[in-house]
């Protein structure tokens, strides 16, 4: 079993991945500056509160902890915020990654799993989306991720890095038994917003009901965070056993509309979802669904929690615990 550094491990997807890595027997060190994460998401003793841009400290952590690989989640993730302040996204997502890569180089660590995103494809010409579709992000958040992907390709080529880039679709769900779930601040993701509406009575806004989809609302590929965590474990183990560099989509291949999500929440919670209709949001493509055959074939990964009601039941259990 390996010693793995997880950046952003106090955040939503990172904390679930840390939980499953440890369950599998790997030893983990988390680096997070807690700008958006929560200390309570990380088991006692393994968190180092450090900003990724502190290259010297990241280098010494990698050396002192004898890390063999890095899983890199740490980033800002809000599309809306990135359109208002793109420079934040360049400084944190691109600058933070560049500093991390320099530290890895200095510490002699070359195995890397990177959190990329479906936002890399922008408004894709074909759905389901395969990895060879054009890279055409339509907001600074997506661009920041694409810039880091490009840096990684160059480091693979010129610096002997060995990397896997995972482009995930809509992460969702929770691992309530482990006390883990989704609570971004501010929250911008659909499922936690709908659950919050049910719990508080404050209506959630449905942005656009006139898309060219069967019920007029946007369709997305909802991937359970624990299935996503398993994909990271497969990816890092693949690198540790000398597998090749690659880029993979991570999704279920199933598309669900906003209306379907609302109705699944009503089924799971037994309550009506209060909602209001709003205009389309700029840059929201009608349909984003992954083709993740490549990941399934190469790493023998399978989404086993893909059922929408199952996803929502886990998220609901976590949201009720939080009470918001
Ligand atoms: N949530 C999704 O649906 C989704 C979809 C596609 C890709 N992603 C990617 O997955 C990753 C994790 O997303 P998440 O939803 O868990 O986000 P999150 O905000 O919950 O977690 C990110 C973590 O990174 C930390 N962080 C940010 N900047 C840092 C820095 N400079 N130094 C140290 N720590 C820093 C934050 O404190 C936080 O704990 C991100 O890279 C995101 O782009 C997320």
Q: What is the CATH number of the domain that holds 246?
A: 3.40.50.720
Which pTM was predicted? 0.97
Strands 222-224 and 111-117: unpaired
Same domain, 214 and 288: yes
* Cβ neighbours, 10 Å, residue 233: 20
Q: Tell me how far apart the alpha carbons of residues 77 and 186 are, in angstroms, rounded to a whole number.
A: 11
Q: How far is the CA of 53 from the centre of ligand 1 (A)?
A: 15
Q: Which DSSP state fits 51? A: -
Using a 10 angstrom Cβ sphere, with 0-12 exposed, 13-18 middle and 19 or more buried, the burial of residue 75 is buried
Q: How far is the CA of 77 from the centre of ligand 1 (A)?
A: 6
Q: Tell me how far apart the alpha carbons of residues 100 and 167 are, in angstroms, rounded to a whole number.
A: 19
Catalytic (active site) residue 211: no
What pLDDT sits at residue 115?
98
Collect all residues with Cβ–Cβ distance below 8 Å to 55 and sequence separation of at least 6. Answer: 99, 100, 102, 103, 106
Q: What sign has the CA pseudo-torsion 263, 265, 268, 274?
A: negative
Q: How far is the CA of 212 from the centre of ligand 1 (A)?
A: 31
* Percentage of the chain lying above the pLDDT 70 cut: 100
Collect all residues with Cβ–Cβ distance below 8 Å to 257 and sequence separation of at least 6. Answer: 213, 214, 215, 217, 218, 219
* Nearest CA residue ID for atom 23, ligand 1: 8
Query: Of 5, 7, 8, 170, which is best to mutate to test ligand 1, by the most ligand atoms within 8 angstroms of its C-beta?
Result: 8
Same domain, 22 and 166: yes
12 pocket-lining for ligand 1 (C-beta < 6 Å): yes
The residue-averaged pLDDT of 135-141 equals 96
Same domain, 208 and 237: no
Say if CB 271 and CB 264 are below 8 A apart.
Answer: no
What pLDDT sits at residue 324?
57
Same domain, 208 and 107: no
Q: What is the pLDDT of residues 94-108, one digit of tens each?
A: 999 999 999 999 999
State the DSSP H helix or E strand holding residue 39, giving kind and residue range, or none if neither: none
Same domain, 277 and 156: no
Domain count of the chain? Answer: 2
Same domain, 160 and 260: no
* Nearest CA residue ID for atom 6, ligand 1: 117
Nearest atom (ligand 1) to Cα of 184: 20
The residue-averaged pLDDT of 41-65 equals 98
Q: How far is the CA of 12 from the centre of ligand 1 (A)?
A: 7
* Cβ neighbours, 10 Å, residue 125: 10
Same domain, 303 and 246: no
Q: What is the pLDDT of residues 76-90, one digit of tens each?
A: 999 999 999 999 999
99 pocket-lining for ligand 1 (C-beta < 6 Å): no
14 pocket-lining for ligand 1 (C-beta < 6 Å): yes
Same domain, 24 and 115: yes
Same domain, 66 and 186: no
Nearest atom (ligand 1) to Cα of 145: 43
CATH number at residue 200: 3.90.25.10
Same domain, 166 and 110: yes
Same domain, 9 and 156: yes
Question: Domain containing 92: what range?
Answer: 3-172+223-250
- Paired tokens of 306: 């893909």
Same domain, 284 and 266: yes
Q: What is the pLDDT of residues 139-173, one digit of tens each?
A: 999 999 999 999 999 999 999 999 999 999 999 99
């Amino acid at each position: 079993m390996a010693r793995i550094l997880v950046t952003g491990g106090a955040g939503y997807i990172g904390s679930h991945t840390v939980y499953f890595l440890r369950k599998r027997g790997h030893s983990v060190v988390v680096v997070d500056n807690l700008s958006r994460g929560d200390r309570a998401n990380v088991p006692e003793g393994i968190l180092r509160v450090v900003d990724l841009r502190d290259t010297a400290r990241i280098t010494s952590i990698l050396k002192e902890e004898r890390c063999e690989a890095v899983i890199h989640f740490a980033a800002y993730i809000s599309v809306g915020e990135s359109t208002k302040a793109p420079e934040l996204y360049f400084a944190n997502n691109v600058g933070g990654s560049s500093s991390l890569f320099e530290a890895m180089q200095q510490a002699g660590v070359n195995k890397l799993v990177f959190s990329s995103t479906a936002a890399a494809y922008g408004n894709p010409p074909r759905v389901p989306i395969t990895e060879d579709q054009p890279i055409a992000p339509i907001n600074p958040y997506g661009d920041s991720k694409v810039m880091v992907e490009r840096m990684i390709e160059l480091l693979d080529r010129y610096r002997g890095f060995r990397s896997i880039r995972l482009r995930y679709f809509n992460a969702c769900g929770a691992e309530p038994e482990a006390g883990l779930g989704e609570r971004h601040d501010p929250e911008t993701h659909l499922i936690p917003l709908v659950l919050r509406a049910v719990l508080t009575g404050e209506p959630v806004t449905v942005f656009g009901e006139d898309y060219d989809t069967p019920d007029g609302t946007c369709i997305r590929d909802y991937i359970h965070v624990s299935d996503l965590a398993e994909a990271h474990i497969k990816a890092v183990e693949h690198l540790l056993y000398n597998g090749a560099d690659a880029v993979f989509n991570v999704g279920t291949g199933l598309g669900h509309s906003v209306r379907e999500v609302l109705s699944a929440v009503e089924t799971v919670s037994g309550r009506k979802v209060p909602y209001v209709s709003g205009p389309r949001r700029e840059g929201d493509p009608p349909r984003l669904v992954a083709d993740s055959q490549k990941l399934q074939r190469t790493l023998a990964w399978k989404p086993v929690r893909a059922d929408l009601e199952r996803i929502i039941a886990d998220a609901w259990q976590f949201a009720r615990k939080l009470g918001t």
